[in-house]
Amino acid sequence: MRKNKIDLVKGWLEKARRDLITAQKNLASENPFTDIICFHSQQAAEKYVKAFLLWEEVPFPKTHAIEDLILLAAQKDSSFLKLKQLSTELTPYAVETRYPEFEAPLLKDAEKAIQSSEQIKDFVLHRLPDELSR
């Protein structure tokens, strides 16, 4: 059975919430894995924006480029353009953190990634009906 739009949006939001919690818990651990923190922060931000796009019925490609998703969201709400810089900083963590040929991010980068993801989360949730984010 196919899910309806509300259930799909809630599903994206729940996946995003879990990614962000994973990043936050890892940061709070004794030996944080900065690559994992940055990856899950990126994933959370990407999924929050995709939830908004789905709610607004804006088709989006399979991509990890959050800045591209932001441009699509800005077609419905131009204030999304405020997130362009944050999204540009997060996008590389979708791939680079998964492979050994890239340097692991510094702890300060991991902390910033979580903050950026939280900002995107708050921004998106304020633009969705309350019943979706509960």
Q: What range does the domain containing 80 cover?
A: 5-132
> pTM for this structure?
0.94
- Residue with the two structure tokens 């997060």: 90
Q: What gap in Å lies between CA 80 and CA 48, rounded to an integer? A: 12
pLDDT of 3 above 90? no
Q: What is the CATH number of the domain that holds 53?
A: 1.20.120.330
Quick one: which H or E segment has residue 50?
helix 34-55
Give me the pLDDT at residue 86, please.
92
pLDDT of 18 above 90? yes
Question: Does residue 53 contact residue 80 with C-beta atoms inside 8 Å?
Answer: no
Residue 97: pLDDT band with limits 50, 70, 90 = confident
Give me the pLDDT at residue 101, please.
84
Q: What is the pLDDT of residues 32-82, one digit of tens each?
A: 999 999 999 999 999 999 999 999 999 999 999 999 999 999 999 999 999
Q: What is the pLDDT of residues 122-134, one digit of tens each?
A: 999 999 998 887 6
Structural domains of the chain, count: 1
